[in-house]
Amino acid sequence: MAFSSKVALFLLACIFLISGIESNKHGGITLDLIHRDSPDSPLYRSSYTRYERLTNAFQRSFSRKSSLHRTYKVTNSGSGSFESTLNSVGGEYLMKISIGTPPVEILGIADTGSDLTWTQCKPCASCFKQKFPLFDPNNTKTYRKLSCEAELCSAVGQSGCDGENKCNYEVSYGDRSYSTGEMGTETFVLGNATFPKVAFGCGHDNSGTFNETATGIVGLGGGDISIVKQLDKSIGGRFSYCLTFLDSNVSSKISFGANAVVTGPKVVSTPIVQKSPSTFYFLTLEGVSVGKKRLEYVSDVSDYNQQAGGGNIIIDSGTTLTFLPEGLFSDLEAALVKAIKGNRVEDPQGVFQLCYELPSTGEFDIPPIVVHFSGADLEVTPGSTFIEVKPGVVCLTFVPSNDFSIFGNLHQMNFNIGYDLVNQEVSFLPTDCSKFE
C-alpha cells in the first residue's frame, strides 16, 4: 500500500475516533418514565377504578398549582427563604437511576419543577418507610461530602455548616413534606452511562406525604443544582420526554444527550424565558384557537403575567391539568360551547367548568384546539382535551386560574418534547409515544 494511502487511512481512523469520543461525550440515554398510576408503577393500586385514579390526579394538580404559585411569589418577594425554590413533592412520573460504587438503584419522582436530587440515607434519624434499601455512604467507594466552599453548596439555597466544613441542606415542600441532611457527590448511573461527582442530597431526616415505593426526588428543573445542569457537558444541555396516554400499556420515555435531540419537518419550537425562580421553565402563551377562531391572550395589568419579556406560563410534567388565565379560559369555553353540539351537564365533582354527556355511540366530536406559544402552534390531541371523568360524562381538561398558568402533562401527551438549555428553547414533535424508542 502506498504511503499516501496509509496516511489517508490513518487520518480517516482518527476522524472516526474523534467522532466516537464526541458521540460518547454527548451520548444518548433513554429510560422508562413511569406514570404513578400505570400498572408498571409500584404506586399502582389495582383496587382503584380508572375514575378514582383520574380524580386523584386532578386533585394533585390543584395542590401542585397552589404550591408552584407560592414558590413563585416567595421567590419574587425577595424574602430569601430556602422554600422559595421548592414546591409540591407530588410528581406524576417516576424514574430509576443508580448511585454509588457499587451502584444502588433508587426510584425517584422525576420532577421538572424541582432542582435538588436527593434520596434517603443511612444513618436515618427519621425516615419515611421505603421498599428499596436506604443508601449507605459508608458502603460506596465514590461518596464524598460537599464542602461549604463548593459552588454547588451555595446553589442549594440556605444551608448550614458544621465543624467539619460539611454542606448541609434543608428542603421543605408545599404539602409540609421535608428532607434535611448533607450534600455529597457520588457516581450516578443512568442507563448504561456513568457520571462521576454528581452533587445530591443525602437525607437523614425526611418526612411527609412520600410513598414507601419512592426514595426521593430526581430534580429536572432549570436551576444550577439540577441533574440536567450538572450533566450539562455530558448531555449537551438536552433532555426530552415522550408521554404516552394514561390508558396506554406502554411506559413513557425520558432521554438525555443525543437521544434528546428533537428534529423533523413538523417540529415547532418556543423560547424558554429566563425568570425567577430559575427552576421553572417559563414559556410565552399568546392565545388559543378553536377551529379557525383564534382567541388572543390579553393580560390584565394587575396580573403577574404582565411582565416584560414574556414568560407567562410554565410547562410542567408534574401537573396533570392545564391552567389558563381566567379571561382566556372564558373565551375558550364560550367558543367551545358555540362549536360543540351536545347535551351540556354539570361536573358531578365540581372540578370542571365545561362537561357534556357522552353520546351512546361513545364518540364525542370537538373542533381542533391549538395552543399558540411564541413561535410554536401546538394542536393538542382530542383524547386529552376532553376526558371521561365518570361513566357517560366528558369534561374539558383546561381549567381557569386567577394567579398562575401551567401547561400540564395531559396536553403534552403524544409529543416528543425536547428541552435545549444551551439554545434556551423547548421543541414539540407530534409522536406516537407508545412506539417511541
Quick one: pLDDT band at residue 267, thresholds 50, 70, 90?
Answer: very high
Residue 424 pLDDT greater than 80, yes or no = yes
pLDDT of residue 15: 32
pLDDT of residue 4: 42
Residue 88 pLDDT greater than 50, yes or no = no
What percentage of residues in the chain have a pLDDT greater than 90? 58
Q: What is the mean pLDDT of residues 145-156?
A: 87
pLDDT of residue 309: 59
- Give me the domains of the chain, ranges plus CATH numbers: 29-253 (2.40.70.10), 262-435 (2.40.70.10)
Catalytic-role residue among 37, 111, 331, 420: 111
Catalytic-role residue among 37, 115, 175, 316: 316
pLDDT of residue 211: 54
Q: 162 an active-site residue? A: no
- List, for residues 183-218, the tens digit of each pLDDT value: 999 999 999 899 999 999 998 887 765 555 567 889
Q: What is the mean pLDDT of residues 116-121?
A: 90
- Who wins on pLDDT, 290 or 14? 290
- List, for residues 7-52, the tens digit of each pLDDT value: 333 333 333 233 333 333 446 899 999 888 887 776 777 788 989 9
Q: What is the mean pLDDT of residues 83-110?
A: 77
CB atoms within 10 A of CB 22: 12
Q: 316 an active-site residue? A: yes
